[in-house]
Amino acid sequence: MVYAATATAPVNIACIKYWGKRDTKLILPTNSSLSVTLDQDHLRSTTTSRADESFEKGDRLWLNGKEEVVKPDGRLGVCITELRNWRSIEEEKDSSLPKLSQWPLRIASYNNFPTAAGLASSASGLAALVASLARLYQLPQTPSQLSLIARQGSGSACRSLFGGFVAWREGVKSDGSDSLAEEVAPQSHWPDMHAVICVVSDAKKGTSSTSGMQRTVETSTLLQERLRIVPGRMEAISTAIKEKNFEEFASITMKDSNSFHSVCLDTSPPIFYLNDVSKSIIAVIEELNRSSGKIIAAYTFDAGPNAVIYALKENIPKVLGAINRFFPTSEEPRDPFGIAAQDLPEGFDLKVVREGGWEKGAVKTLIHTRVGDGPRTLSKEESLLNDKGEPKVLAKA
């Protein structure tokens, strides 16, 4: 009997940003956050977990075909230990269960998008790990309960355990037991929510979010004010989502992205994630909204220069048109939904972008996707591990 499970988990992109921990060990945030889960048909992490009595002692894990050391007190190790503990509780309750909790694990995880794309792969990766182990161990916990574990692997990973629109409640307890993710609305509530990711070239690797956010907590004079503002935004954007009020959703999303980057800049030394291309994308979207007479698109930026532009499906042609016009990509765009770009609105002021737009490749590639569902379980045939419990595909040395 082979005990294995394969799961996929989605990427999520926050509209209300997580920036700052009140507990760095348990990963408890200084504020609640809210994200849109993106479609796994386009972007996903896949993880296979297998437990076997016959494996050599000790857990082993491969990320994108490259073995990683699992430190017991590291973030991956903590997640595995917690899920194993939950399994052992089940085994104690029901002695007929195989003692999977005592067996060595073999885990392989793979992202279908290059790490170089600068998309947060740790969120989908940790969520896929938790989802596959929860499945392997047949755990009875709800996704919100599982999110407590994923959170400790990588904060925003907790939000990737749900589809649709997801809140991570900051919680008040010091043990973190109420700092969990929950669904605000499912994918099916607002399926027309689309997203265009602009992958922006950057010459220099920026400050890691882990170290950056703690520097902000320690030195920013404006962060406390941001923390007072966020609860109102959480309320307002949740209402906007429930009412499918795109203009309100977009307005809050843009404001909160700018507020997050403001407190980064207010850090000592300052942290910059937006570069001149990012700023130009902002100018184009602001002008697209202005010249359209209403807000039809919202930009948001995580800890890097890539833009994610949210827009309803009906307005995607305009978004693609505006982006293509000023940021010609090096790759020929192939839209997965077969949507064609549309000309700029009349009255669009071309002068918002530097003369002639940007050189080819300033935006490397566009990824057009949409709101998606939560983790999925795959069949045995899709396992990333071979019969011996080794990855089917190893990274090239």
Output the smallest distance, CB 102 to a copy of itself, in A: 46
* Among positions 258, 291, 324, 329, the unique one binding a copy of itself when judged by CB under 8 A: 258
> Considering the rule CB under 8 A, would residue 259 count as an interface residue with a copy of itself?
yes
Output the smallest distance, CB 48 to a copy of itself, in A: 37
Output the smallest distance, CB 305 to a copy of itself, in A: 10
Site for a copy of itself in 166-185 (CB under 8 A): none
Residue 307 tokens read as 């833009």
Alpha-carbon distance of 52 to 151, in angstroms, equals 27
Short-list 87, 362, 381, CA closest to 200: 362
> Considering the rule CB under 8 A, would residue 255 count as an interface residue with a copy of itself?
yes
Other C-beta atoms within 10 Å of 290: how many?
15
* E-strand stretches of 193-317: 193-200, 298-300, 307-312
> 269 or 338: whose CB is closer to a copy of itself?
269
Residues in the chain: 397
* Cα 395 from chain centroid (whole Å): 24
Binding region for a copy of itself (CB under 8 A) out of 63-71, 92-100, 131-139, 225-233:
225-233
Sign of CA dihedral 251, 228, 274, 209: negative
Q: Count each helix (H run) and each strand (E run) in the chain, helices first.
A: 8, 16
> 158 or 353: whose CB is closer to a copy of itself?
353
CB 127 within 8 A of CB 150: yes
How many residues bind a copy of itself, per CB under 8 A?
A: 32
* Among positions 1, 116, 172, 203, the unique one binding a copy of itself when judged by CB under 8 A: 203
Binding region for a copy of itself (CB under 8 A) out of 13-21, 149-157, 160-168, 257-265:
257-265
Q: What is the DSSP letter of 391?
A: B
> Considering the rule CB under 8 A, would residue 115 count as an interface residue with a copy of itself?
no
> Considering the rule CB under 8 A, would residue 338 count as an interface residue with a copy of itself?
no
> Considering the rule CB under 8 A, would residue 262 count as an interface residue with a copy of itself?
yes
> Considering the rule CB under 8 A, would residue 236 count as an interface residue with a copy of itself?
no
Output the smallest distance, CB 283 to a copy of itself, in A: 8
Alpha-carbon distance of 336 to 366, in angstroms, equals 11
Binding region for a copy of itself (CB under 8 A) out of 55-63, 263-271, 317-325, 374-382:
263-271
SS3 345: coil
Output the smallest distance, CB 351 to a copy of itself, in A: 8
> Considering the rule CB under 8 A, would residue 390 count as an interface residue with a copy of itself?
no
> 86 or 358: whose CB is closer to a copy of itself?
358
* Among positions 222, 236, 341, 378, the unique one binding a copy of itself when judged by CB under 8 A: 222
How many CA atoms within 13 Å lie on the side-chain side of 188?
A: 0
Short-list 121, 113, 110, CA closest to 302: 121
CB within 8 Å of 23: residues ≥ 6 apart: 174, 176
Short-list 40, 5, 26, CA closest to 134: 5
> Considering the rule CB under 8 A, would residue 224 count as an interface residue with a copy of itself?
yes
Alpha-carbon distance of 46 to 172, in angstroms, equals 32
SS3 384: coil
Residue matched to tokens 């990588």? 154
- In degrees, to the nearest 5, what angle opens at C-alpha 364 toward C-alphas 359 and 370? 130
Alpha-carbon distance of 45 to 30, in angstroms, equals 27
* Among positions 193, 254, 316, 344, the unique one binding a copy of itself when judged by CB under 8 A: 254
> Considering the rule CB under 8 A, would residue 364 count as an interface residue with a copy of itself?
no
List for the chain the helix, strand, coil content (%; round to 5).
Answer: 40, 20, 40
> Considering the rule CB under 8 A, would residue 355 count as an interface residue with a copy of itself?
yes
Binding region for a copy of itself (CB under 8 A) out of 131-139, 186-194, 224-232, 239-247:
224-232
> 50 or 233: whose CB is closer to a copy of itself?
233
Binding mask 264-303 for a copy of itself (x = CB under 8 A): -xxxxxx-x-xxx--x--xx--x-----------------
Chain residues binding a copy of itself by CB under 8 A are 203-204, 221-222, 224-226, 229, 251, 254-255, 258-259, 261-263, 265-270, 272, 274-276, 279, 282-283, 286, 354-355
